[in-house]
Amino acid sequence: MSQPSGRRALLYRVLSASIFVPLVLGLSYAGGWALFGLVLAIVIRGSWELLYLARQAGHKPSSMGMILAMGTCTYLQLHGADEGFVLLLSGSALLALAVALRHGVEGYMSNALLTFACVGYVGLLGSSPLLLAPRLGELAPTMLAAIFGSIWLTDAAAYGGGRLWGCRRLAPTISPGKTVAGFCCGLVGGLVPVCLFPYLPGWTVLELLGLFLLISLFGQLGDLVESAIKRDMGVKDAPALIPGHGGLLDRFDSYFFAFPVALTYTVILTS
């Protein structure tokens, strides 16, 4: 009975990926408000799932965190990371500390920090593509799609390499299924976009190799961080969103680390 179930799960994964991947790539390639719509959807769902995981573990974060995360994303789209953005983050931190008071002293700090995590972890890190796109100029459509591709190729190569050659565990206390072999294969898989786009204007091959190596490395770190969050919360998976793929945080865990490091790398190169 388990075999048909496994085949059915694989079918769901393939069918959903055949719809989901072109949609994400298309919106990221279109840029502008289409990219904003994609990022905002990720922020909304991601912050909701983070609140869900926290509440499953007995914490009491405020739903205000999701609203603040949406505000962060919208502000960055309209104004970028200007002086007002610092005020927005400061105000969000103060509001998170204030709304946590309604649950009293017990668990106060965890509730306040988890509320603000929606802003910092999901809202800020998740909105990185909105800051990266202007930095890339005319190359933004190609580069954003290539970064998404690198993230997914890293995941696929890490999974395949781990299944084929994985013996030594990478981080057994955090994610027992991840192996050193899978990690190394993931790094190689993440470099595939460099082979597809080796001669982008304004970028040397070495710069592209450095970019996508960091994307692959930090993407896998993001995967481990999300695994640590779920293990700490005592929850195996986030609420399912994509058939066969689990919740958004399960599929976009790498996204929240890969795009910020791509932004940082690009800022350093262009400054």
Per-residue pLDDT reduced to its tens digit, 28-51: 999 999 999 999 999 999 999 999
User: What domain count does the chain have?
Assistant: 2
Q: Which residues contact 257 (CB under 8 A, 6 or more apart)?
A: 125, 218, 219, 221, 222, 225
In-domain check, residue 201 = yes
82 and 210 together in one domain: no
End-to-end CA, the chain: 59
Query: Could you give the CA distance from residue 163 to residue 11 in angstroms, rounded to a whole number?
Result: 19
Same domain, 143 and 270: yes
Residue 176: per-residue pLDDT = 86
pLDDT tens-place string over residues 140-197 = 999 999 999 999 999 999 989 988 887 889 988 998 889 999 999 999 999 999 988 8
Mean pLDDT to the nearest integer, 210-223: 96
141 neighbors 30 (Cβ within 8 angstroms): yes
Domain holding 161, by residue range, is: 138-271
- Residue 23 sits at the vertex; the CA angle it makes with 245 and 30, to the nearest 5 degrees, is 145
Is residue 5 one of the residues assigned to a domain? no
Per-residue confidence (pLDDT) for residue 1, from 0 to 100? 39
Pick the range with the lowest mean pLDDT from 10-14, 112-116, 159-163, 198-202. 10-14
- pLDDT, tens digit (0-9, with 9 covering 90-100), for 87-142: 999 999 999 999 999 888 889 999 999 999 999 999 999 999 999 999 999 999 99
Instruction: Kindly state whether residues 122 and 142 are assigned to the same domain.
Output: no
| pLDDT tens column, 222-243 | 999 999 998 888 887 777 766 6
Instruction: Judge contact between 155 and 198, C-beta under 8 A.
Output: no
